[in-house]
Amino acid sequence: AGGANCDAMEGGKRLASSDGRDAGALVSAKKQKREENAGEERTVREKKGMRRTSNLDAPTMLLSGHQDEIFSIRFSPDGQVVATGSKDKHVFLWKVYEECNNYMVLKGHKNAILELSWTTDGEKIVTASADKTARLWDVEIGAQIKTLKGHAAIVNSCSPARRGPPLVATCADDGTAKLWDLRVKGAEQTFQEKFPLTSVAFSDAGDKLYTGGLEGVVGIWDIRKNDSMMALGTHQDIITGLSVSADGTHLLSNSMDGSLKAWDIRPFAEGDRCARTFTGHAHGFEQNLLRCAWSPDGNRVTCGSSDCLVYVWDFSSGKLVYRLPGHSGSVNEVVFHPLEPIVGSCSSDRQIYLGEIEVD
């Protein structure tokens, strides 16, 4: 598909020590072999007329180290670091460039990490966990700085506000979405639904929350009024992921009904707010929460898929532009790099891929 190359390079196979710091250099023989492989791959691509499009060490990098399924992956706002959260209860921080070294491990959760998000300043990470908490981490010092307690069940999702006060939204199997001000203790607001909620996202302006869950309804909550504004639209099955476009005009929702939908969330949009429906990806018996994401320019969308493939669609045409192999388990999340044509994916196979794609 397109010009992407999915041959796995042996990148990033460096683990961290128990204190979370880098455990040391790769053995020289392994490093030399990697460099030879990377050089060979570059030569093959050049012969085929496949130009490099990113600053990755090789067109495709494989990162290994987690001891269980990986549910979440996110690039830092500056694109230098990628964070991953796993069923092994840990967050790994990896350098995106050169050898993709794992240089820090964040430990503290008592159960699986189901989603993570960076704060806009790139200094902190918020995590949602099956241990019924969300937590805030300082990535500069590698320490937990706040625990958000208040949910009565598994916390499935977390979303920091993009602008304004330091607010974080969470949602859980207890049917609530909660709004937290990180400057104070306890939840500021609680929004109650009848059924478990699996995904939450802040509007670009930070004045609304979008939620999805078992009922298949995309709900909009007005933070200022502390009530449910409206149902944006519905799916025929559980919603597993939500994502607001960088310009704040559209919302993606992924569902176990086999569809990825883009909704027009501009204030005065008329008629059916479903702008696009993307299909082809799969939801399996595992019923994992397969997330979804926009490219920074809003031209492409992606989501997880249980068939081990990475799917990328063109937003305007709705056409599938990439269907990338490599994983051997459910692909739980795919995200775009903020600055370069790179996609990152994480899987139940405990592996992470960073791969360059063609420029639009």
What is the tens place of the pLDDT at every residue in 37-57? 555 554 445 545 578 999 999
Question: What's the pLDDT at 268?
Answer: 84
CA angle (315, 299, 122) in 5-degree steps: 125
d(CA 130, CA 215): 20
Q: Provide the pLDDT for residue 230.
A: 80
* Both structure tokens of 83: 């964070």
pLDDT digit string, tens, across residues 257-299: 999 999 999 988 888 899 999 999 999 888 899 999 999 999 9
Sheet containing 102-106: order of strands: 70-75, 81-86, 91-95, 102-106
Q: The whole model's pTM is what?
A: 0.87
Backbone angles phi, psi at 242, to 5 degrees: -135, 150
Low-confidence ranges of the chain (pLDDT < 70): 1-49, 228-229
Classify 187 in phi/psi space as left (phi over 0), alpha (psi -120 to 50) or beta. Answer: beta
Looking at residue 34, what is its pLDDT?
47
Q: How far is CA 51 from the centre of its chain?
A: 27
| DSSP-derived secondary structure letter, 26 | P
Asked whether the beta carbons of 283 and 258 are under 8 A apart, the reply is yes
Q: Which residues in 106-131 are b (16+ Cβ under 10 Å) and which e?
A: bebbeebbbbbbbbeebebbbbbbbb
With a CB cutoff of 8 Å and minimum separation 6, the contacts of 272 are none
Q: Can you tell me which residue has the tokens 């010009």?
A: 3
Phi, psi of 34 (to 5 degrees): -60, -45
Residues 297, 237: Cα–Cα separation, whole Å: 29
How many whole angstroms separate alpha carbon 293 and alpha carbon 302? 5
Q: Amino acid identity of 305?
A: S
Q: How many CB atoms lie within 10 A of CB 28?
A: 8
Structure confidence at residue 37 (pLDDT): 52
| Burial environment of residue 342 by CB neighbours within 10 A (0 to 12, 13 to 18, 19 or more) | buried
Task: Return the structure tokens found at 158.
Answer: 């977390």
pLDDT in tens, 218-245: 999 999 887 766 888 999 999 999 999 9
**Is residue 206 within 8 Å of residue 163, measured between CB atoms?**
yes
Q: What is the DSSP letter of 22?
A: B
Please tell me the total number of residues recorded for the chain in this structure.
360
Give whole-number Cα distances, 13 to 27, 30, 224, 241, 351, in Å: 11, 10, 47, 29, 10
pLDDT at 7: 32
